[in-house]
Amino acid sequence: MLEEKIYADYVRALKAKEKDKAQFLSFLRAELKNQAINLKKEILDDVQVIDVLKKQKKKLLDSKEQIEKSTRQDLLIQVNSEIAVLEGYLPQSLPKEEIVKIIEEAVLELGASSIKDMGKVMKLSLEKLAGRADSKEVSQIVKDKLSN
For 40, which DSSP code? Answer: T
Last residue of a domain, one of 66, 89, 112: 89
Q: Say whether pLDDT at 148 is over 80.
A: no
106, 125: one domain? yes
Q: pLDDT tens digit string along 62-92? A: 999 899 888 888 999 999 999 999 999 988 8
Task: Look at residues 11, 1, 93, 81 and name the one whose alpha carbon lies nearest to residue 48.
Answer: 1
- Number of domains comprising the chain: 2
Q: For the chain, how many residues are written?
A: 148
Residue 53 near residue 89, CB atoms below 8 Å: yes
Is residue 100 located within the same domain as residue 51?
A: no
Residue 140 pLDDT > 80: yes
**DSSP code of residue 133:** S
CATH number, residue 49? 1.10.1510.10
Q: Are residues 83 and 22 in the same domain?
A: yes
User: For 148, which DSSP code?
Assistant: -
* Segments forming the whole domain that contains residue 118: 96-147
